[in-house]
């Protein structure tokens, strides 16, 4: 974004609304550093140009930043005192960005989800620790600091990494955090009770007065945004991606929550019981085609599975052992099954933009060969 484009953007999208609308921060992109490195060199210059455009139009109170994801780190967030940024990001992007943010007194915006950190390592991180349970065993860092919850570990990992590149006092804002209330059969921990507990305790923690901060930033206020207000019923990806909201798309509550921080846990109505989860490895799942989806979308998903997805589709080619029955639903189910069996243990999902479903019922022929 050059200076002219930045000026036009601010004039069109900010200046005319400022005053009537409370605009505090202009965020450039979303988790840009999680995508292709082709865009990285343009991120900080775009932020600088937008900052200058705001100043030229006398909007000096509007800050500029960009949301970052937790994949910035070279390794684990444990222990947080040892956390460091990825070497491919430090000199090229992060140092110039942190210099700009410090100079303009803006915040580092971070999308931080204990749900994903716990979900990636549930055998070593307790669910109670991720859910702010005061009875959960504490984690002690090598520097002697004790941690009572996973969110503080993640935030202090960021603090430590910033200190290692020369910005120990950079401000932090949590641009996204939350917990999903529904999941696929091959996921765990995402249900209404856990989502309600996480977000209720998050609100109490972040609105505590005096502020609690983190072990490395005691008594510091950390502005925090909950993701999300509404469930995103049309969003692609795993079921969890569509169920982070506090409200359903029709505006009704997924669960009761007080966003003022005044309500204690004992004042809420009892939550439903946590639904039972199958023991790891005990649930046999099949990934099959969703016959209700548009056939064009199903065909596109089939092409992806057999191409970029690297499913073995030779048996469903003409003359192959599983070519019959010769229809898109049967061929897609075969390809989805093969893809899921190969890759689900390393992160592959049964989604295919809504073209696939998981089932615990063993599908018989003619759907599967």
Here the tokens at position 338 are 């093969």
Contacts of 140 (CB under 8 A, 6+ apart): 146, 147
Which pLDDT score is estimated for 282?
A: 78
31 is an active site residue: yes
Which pLDDT score is estimated for 367?
A: 59
pLDDT tens digits, the chain, 369 residues: what are they?
899 999 999 999 999 999 999 999 999 999 999 998 999 999 999 999 999 999 999 999 999 999 999 999 999 999 999 999 999 999 999 999 999 999 999 999 999 999 999 999 999 999 999 999 999 999 999 999 999 999 999 999 999 999 999 999 999 999 999 999 999 998 999 999 999 999 999 999 999 999 999 999 999 999 999 999 999 988 888 999 999 999 999 999 999 999 999 999 999 999 999 888 877 667 889 999 998 899 999 999 999 999 999 999 999 999 999 999 999 999 999 999 999 999 988 888 999 988 999 998 888 655 567
Which pLDDT score is estimated for 233?
A: 87
Tell how strand 286-289 and strand 63-65 pair up.
Answer: unpaired
Which pLDDT score is estimated for 276?
A: 83
Which pLDDT score is estimated for 317?
A: 96
Q: With CA atoms as reference, report the closest residue to 93 among 109, 122, 72, 77.
A: 72
Judge whether 47 and 91 are in contact, CB under 8 Å: no
Single out the catalytic residue among 56, 117, 142, 176.
Answer: 176
Which pLDDT score is estimated for 283?
A: 83
Which pLDDT score is estimated for 345?
A: 83
E runs forming strands in 267-320: 286-289
φ, ψ dihedrals at 167, nearest 5°: -130, 65
Report the C-alpha gap between 241 and 213 in whole angstroms. Answer: 28
Three-class secondary structure of residue 25 per DSSP: strand
């Amino acid at each position: 974004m050059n200076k002219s484009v930045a000026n036009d953007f601010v004039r069109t999208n900010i200046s005319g609304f400022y005053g009537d609308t409370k605009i505090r921060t202009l965020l450039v992109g979303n988790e840009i550093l999680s995508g292709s490195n082709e865009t990285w060199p343009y991120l900080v210059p775009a932020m600088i140009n937008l900052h200058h455009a705001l100043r030229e139009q006398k909007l000096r109170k509007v800050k500029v930043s960009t949301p970052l994801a937790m994949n910035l780190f070279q390794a684990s967030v444990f222990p947080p005192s040892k956390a460091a940024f990825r070497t491919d990001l430090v000199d090229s992007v992060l140092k110039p960005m942190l210099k700009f943010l410090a100079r303009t007194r803006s915040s580092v915006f971070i999308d931080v989800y204990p749900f994903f950190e716990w979900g990636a390592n549930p055998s070593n991180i307790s669910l109670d620790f991720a859910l702010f349970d005061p009875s959960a065993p504490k984690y002690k860092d090598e520097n002697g600091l004790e941690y009572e919850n996973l969110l503080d570990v993640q935030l202090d990992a960021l603090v430590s990494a910033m200190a290692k590149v020369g910005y120990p006092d950079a401000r932090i804002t949590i641009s996204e955090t939350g917990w999903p209330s529904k999941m696929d059969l091959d996921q765990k921990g995402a249900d209404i009770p856990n989502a309600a507990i996480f977000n209720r305790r998050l609100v109490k923690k972040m609105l505590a007065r005096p502020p609690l901060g983190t072990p490395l930033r005691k008594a510091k206020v950390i502005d925090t945004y909950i993701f999300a207000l509404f469930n995103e019923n049309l969003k692609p990806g795993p079921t969890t991606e569509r169920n982070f909201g506090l409200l359903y798309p029709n505006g009704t509550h997924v669960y009761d929550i007080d966003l003022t921080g005044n309500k204690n846990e004992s004042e809420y109505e009892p939550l439903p019981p946590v639904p039972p989860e199958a023991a790891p490895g005990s649930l046999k799942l099949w990934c099959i085609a969703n016959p209700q989806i548009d056939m064009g979308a199903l065909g596109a998903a089939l092409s992806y599975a057999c191409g970029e997805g690297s499913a073995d589709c030779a048996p469903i080619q003409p003359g192959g052992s599983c070519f019959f029955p010769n229809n898109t639903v049967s061929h897609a189910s075969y390809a989805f099954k093969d893809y899921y069996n190969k890759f689900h243990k390393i992160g592959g999902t049964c989604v295919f933009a809504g073209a696939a479903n998981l089932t615990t019922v063993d599908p018989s022929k003619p759907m599967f060969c």
